[in-house]
Amino acid sequence: MKWLKTAATWTVLVVGVVLGWAIFLPSSQPVLDRVGLLGPMKAVGIPVAEAPETRGGGGGPPFGGGGGATRVVAQEVGLVEFGDRIGAIGTAEALRSVTLTPEVAGRLAAVHVASGDHVEEGTVIAELDAVSQRLAVDRAELGLRDAQSRADRVARLRASGSATEVQIDDADLALRQAELDLRDAEFELSRRQIMAPFSGWVGLISLEPGNQVSSTTEIARLDDRSRLRMDFHIPERLVGLVSAGDAFNISPLSRPGDVFEGAIRAVDARVSQDTRALRIQGEIDNSDDRLRPGMAFRVTVLLPGEDYPAIDPLAVQWDRRGSFVWAVDDENRARRVAIEIVQRRDTAVLVRADLEAGARVVIEGVQNLRPDAEVDVTELRDPIEAGDPSDLAQRAAGITAPGEETAPDI
């Protein structure tokens, strides 16, 4: 019998606490209503305290329900383009590159640049011994001066009528021959100079003056790396979706956090029968000289796609029927909108739903909403804008072999 007395005592205490809470605390009304006690208590005449209006007042909870409109934070819906992404591996090459070798064999007389120097077009990189060729140039210059003097004398005699046609022809022929001899001597001298055919950076030089070289000896390598050229491949199903001028992003395998933007320069005229892939050639600006030819890169090409509503991840709700969001209509009432998630991003979710640009979606206060419930939007945030395409490049999942694409972020 003792336990019955204890149970009765506790029951009386609990009923007393509930009654006191209901009578003196207005905030108890929503809870009593949810558990089904509010109606019976009012029916038996218990003076339940009335909850104050939350709309326009100041005493209600920030996002609570009760007797008025539910206060929420909403965000406008923005449209963001969902693009497919192609990933590949590429190796960078200099825009122009040449191996400098002598035209003739000989002894290296001088090297005028150091390894790593930047040189302008026409700069003499190195010279071979050319004593014999300089003597030939001096000899040809003397011959030209002599032939010119003889031609001038014959011209004066011709003016006075003392020169014959044979003398005049011989003088002209000698002058032309002397000019050709000088040009030939100067050409042979120039062949002993190794000059830069374009502006660029000189590679490592391992030769020293005095080395004997041949026409196949590499003096230095010259690279114009102000822009880099990148070759990669895309699958044949994407033929026609990529064209010259389209943008792409690259990220060095050694520094995955660095992302650079380039542009497609050319598209191959045919698909490879071996790989069923189309070769693409692009260019990357390297005016700051941060990249080097020969580096391996992850290449990401973003293809254009459809526009989808972009919402904050906090707005997405789930129940047994699937995912949905609470939208606020023109009459400030909650409307349940079913959604299908298309893509997840860092700060947004792209969805397929009956949501127009500018629609209001609840992101805070969703736990107190019911269909057709009155809503008080206390804060309306700006829509989510399209992110930088390089963000997608940084989030590219994995690296594919040339000719294979990666899956989109889903």
- pLDDT score for 126: 94
Q: Are 259 and 215 in contact (CB under 8 A)?
A: no
17 domain residue, yes or no: yes
Same domain, 346 and 263: no
Among 188, 194, 235, residue whose Cα is nearest residue 211: 194
Residues 170 and 267 in one domain: no
Domain identity same for 336 and 349 = yes
Question: Which tens digits make up the pLDDT trace of 141-161?
Answer: 999 999 999 888 888 887 777
CATH of the domain at 298: 2.40.30.170
408 falls in which pLDDT band (50, 70, 90)?
Answer: very low
Q: Are residues 203 and 235 in the same domain?
A: no
Total domains, the chain: 4
Amino acid at 89: I
Q: Are residues 234 and 90 in the same domain?
A: yes
- Is residue 291 located within the same domain as residue 315? no
CATH, residue 127:
2.40.50.100
User: What is the number of other CB atoms lying within 10 angstroms of the CB of residue 208?
Assistant: 8
Structure tokens at 131: 């004593």
Tokens of 394: 């940084």
Same domain, 347 and 372: yes
The answer to whether residues 30 and 66 touch, using CB atoms and an 8 Å cutoff, is: yes
Looking from the CA of 44 toward its CB, the CA atoms found within 13 Å total: 6
| Residue 395 pLDDT grade (very low, low, confident, very high; cuts 50, 70, 90) | very low
**Is 109 in the same domain as 189?**
yes
> What is the sign, positive or negative, of the torsion defined by CA atoms of 351, 353, 356, 362?
negative
Q: Are residues 90 and 230 in the same domain?
A: yes
pLDDT at 156: 84
Q: Which of 91, 400, 93, 396 is nearest to 275 (CA)?
A: 400
Cβ neighbour number for residue 370 with a 10 Å cutoff: 11
- What residues contact 337, with CB distance under 8 A and at least 6 apart? 324, 325, 326, 327, 353, 354, 355
Provide the residue count of the chain. Answer: 410
What are the CB-based long-range contacts (under 8 Å, 24+) for 329-336?
332/69, 332/374, 332/375, 332/376, 332/377, 333/372, 333/373, 333/374, 333/375, 334/70, 334/362, 334/369, 334/370, 334/371, 334/372, 334/373, 334/374, 334/375, 335/371, 335/372, 336/371
Is 226 within 8 Å of 95 (Cβ atoms)?
yes
Q: How far apart are CA 93 and CA 88, in angstroms?
A: 16
Amino acid at 193: Q
Compute the average pLDDT of residues 85-99. 87
3-12, 164-173, 214-223, range with the lowest pLDDT: 3-12
Which residue range is the domain that position 350 belongs to? 70-82+306-394
pLDDT at 105 over 70: yes
State whether 116 and 191 are in the same domain.
yes
Q: Which of 302, 320, 350 is the last residue of a domain?
A: 302
Residue 401 lies in a domain: no
Please determine, for residue 402, whether its predicted confidence score (pLDDT) is greater than 70.
no
The pLDDT value given to residue 399: 33
Residues 30-50, mean pLDDT to the nearest whole number? 64
The rounded distance, in Å, linking the Cα atoms of 123 and 193 is 10
What phi, psi does 205 have (nearest 5°)?
-110, 120
Domain identity same for 257 and 338: no
Q: Dihedral of CA 153/156/161/166: which sign?
A: positive
Q: Are 395 and 360 in contact (CB under 8 A)?
A: no
Pairing state of beta strands 260-271 and 247-252? antiparallel
